[in-house]
């Protein structure tokens, strides 16, 4: 949620990610790459990583420039968040092995013209590179990384109890569509209004991130997020995303409605998480296969736990 003064930003500069490693690689349990009908969401809770030794091992995964960036951050909690965000990206991607082991320290990144981080593979990696698409979002208290097989993905998270400094309606008029402002204005309970605002922002942020653009390239006022009311529910075994949340451009181009699939979660009981994934249209322009979403909690090199079907990953209403 950039305009609401989200703090740490984690750069992924291409030029500084080349290095040679002498240390032996730490063990990561391999994970099968999602099918074209799946997406994965991994999350990490920084407060649960307490081992100084483990944090030191994490530092060894980062590139010299990444470590230099982390060292320059003021405040130990912000340093830790920056470190763990980079570690989650590297270790998550490295799990998806195809023809051989992927060292998380060997991964290189670049940014597209709008600043979205992407993987950069060497030319000789073409035979073993997994077709991974990823996106990351974080607060000081939770970090999430979404992964798909080839499909563009956008992820955004925000604390459920985040306070909004601005007047919500005045702020919404600056960035949201008239339809969205009208719906916010109709909510009389101020706490419910604040939570609806946070949900809407995360959905919009996830959408522009999935497109690979920033808010400057695709202003929030140019598209409307719509839904039908429904009760919150656990992400069940099928992991199906909510089909009711859609996006529509303000100029009435309804083709956008069928191209993207949204999931809005209450994650870990503390955060709203929005996941936006391009639908699989391999069966035809008008036949899209809903993607199953699997949610995993991790402490890299320590342990992983499936959260799908639990009260830690609940699909919530909007």
Does 62 reside within a domain?
no
Secondary structure in 3-state letters for the chain = CHHHCCCCCCCCCHHHCCCCCCCCCCCCCCCCCCCCCEEEEEEECHHHCCCHHHHHHHHHHCCHHHHHHHHHCCCHHHHHHHHHHHHHHHHHHHHCCCCCCCCHHHCEEEECCCCCEEEECCHHHCCCCCCEEEEEEECCCCEEEEEEECCCEEEEEEECCCCCCCCHHHHHHHHCCHHHHHHHHCCCCHHHHHHHHHHHHHHHHHHHHHCCCCCCCCCHHHEEEECCCCCCEECCCCCECCCCCEEEECCCCHHHHHCEEEEEEEECCCEEEEEEEECECCCCCCCCECCEEEEEEEECCCEEEECCCCCCEEECCC
Query: pTM for this one?
Result: 0.86
Does 68 reside within a domain?
no
Residue 201 has pLDDT above 80, yes or no: yes
- Amino acid 229: pLDDT: 59
Looking at residues 112-120, what average pLDDT do you find?
81
- Amino acid 230: pLDDT: 47
Does 98 reside within a domain?
no
Does 70 reside within a domain?
no
Find the domain containing 171 and state its range. 156-315
pLDDT band of residue 233 (cuts 50, 70, 90) is low
**Number of structural domains in the chain:** 1
Q: What is the mean pLDDT of the chain?
A: 83
Does 95 reside within a domain?
no
- Amino acid 129: pLDDT: 64
Does 14 reside within a domain?
no
Does 250 reside within a domain?
yes
Q: Which one has a higher pLDDT value, 65 or 231?
A: 65
Proportion of the chain above pLDDT 70, given as a percent: 77
Task: Give the domain CATH number at 239.
Answer: 3.90.470.20
- Amino acid 123: pLDDT: 62
Residue 105 has pLDDT above 80, yes or no: yes
Does 211 reside within a domain?
yes
């Amino acid at each position: 949620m950039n305009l609401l003064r989200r703090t740490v930003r984690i750069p992924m500069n291409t030029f500084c990610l080349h290095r040679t490693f002498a240390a032996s690689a730490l063990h990561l349990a391999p994970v099968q790459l999602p099918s074209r009908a799946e997406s994965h969401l991994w999350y990490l809770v920084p407060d649960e990583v307490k081992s100084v030794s483990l944090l030191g091992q994490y530092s060894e995964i980062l590139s010299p420039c990444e470590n230099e960036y982390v060292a320059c951050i003021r405040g130990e909690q912000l340093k830790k968040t920056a470190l763990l965000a980079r570690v989650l990206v590297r270790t998550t991607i490295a799990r998806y092995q195809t023809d051989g082991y992927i060292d998380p320290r060997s991964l290189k990144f670049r940014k597209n013209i709008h600043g979205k981080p992407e993987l950069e593979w060497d030319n000789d990696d073409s035979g073993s590179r997994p077709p991974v698409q990823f996106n990351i979002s974080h607060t000081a208290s939770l970090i999430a990384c979404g992964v798909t097989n080839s499909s563009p993905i956008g992820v955004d998270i925000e604390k459920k109890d985040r306070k909004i400094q601005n007047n919500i309606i005045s702020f919404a008029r600056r960035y949201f569509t008239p339809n969205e402002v009208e719906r916010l204005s109709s909510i009389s309970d101020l706490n419910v209004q604040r939570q609806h605002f946070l949900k809407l922002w995360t959905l919009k942020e996830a959408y522009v991130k999935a497109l690979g653009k920033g808010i400057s390239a695709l202003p929030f006022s140019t598209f409307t997020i719509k839904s039908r009311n429904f009760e919150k529910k656990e992400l069940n075994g099928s992991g199906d995303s909510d089909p009711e949340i859609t996006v529509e451009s303000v100029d009435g181009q309804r083709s956008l409605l069928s191209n993207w699939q949204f999931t809005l979660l209450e994650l870990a009981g503390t955060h709203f998480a929005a996941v936006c994934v391009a639908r699989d249209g391999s069966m035809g322009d008008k036949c899209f296969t809903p993607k199953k979403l699997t949610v995993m909690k991790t402490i890299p090199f320590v342990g992983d736990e499936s959260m799908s079907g639990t009260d830690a990953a609940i699909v919530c209403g909007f």
